[in-house]
Each structure stands twice: as C-alpha cells, then as structure tokens.
Amino acid sequence: MASGLKHRCLTRDRIEERSFCYHLRVRRGYLKLAKAEPKRIKIVKVHDHKLKTQEKIRKLIENVI
C-alpha cells in the first residue's frame, strides 16, 4: 500500500495528505466489507505492470455485465 501512495508524491490531494494509519484503517474497512459481501465487492491484486491489473478489472466487470 505504501508503494501505491508513493507514486502520488508530486500532486497530492487532501485524502492522500492523510496519515498512513488513516489509509490502513480505510483498507481494513474495505477488506472487511469484501469478506462480508464477496459477490458485491471484489479485491484486485495490483501487479507491477498496469496493463495486467487493468485486464483483471475488465474480466471482473465482464462477469457482472
């Protein structure tokens, strides 16, 4: 997660300015929701290559549509 926030170091909005602990709490909350509602909320593992991550997201969306 820290590496995901790192890429935004040049232009950060008010949410990105919040502490790392804040982002951990938000992530834990989403993971808890995803566990409670796996049909509604999906977790996508981020790959080093952006196109791989985009492809995984597209496949998840195609399964819903």
pTM over 0.75: no
Q: What is the CA radius of gyration of the chain?
A: 14
Query: What digits encode the pLDDT tens for the residues 11-64?
Result: 778 888 888 899 999 999 999 999 999 999 999 988 788 899 999 999 999 988
Cα 19 to Cα 17: distance, rounded to the nearest angstrom: 7
Domain parsing of the chain, residue ranges: 2-64
Measured distance CA(54)–CA(28) in Å, rounded: 23
DSSP state of 16: T
Q: How many residues make up the chain in this entry?
A: 65
Q: Residue for token digits 């049909």?
A: 39
What's residue 14's pLDDT?
Answer: 84
DSSP state of 19: -
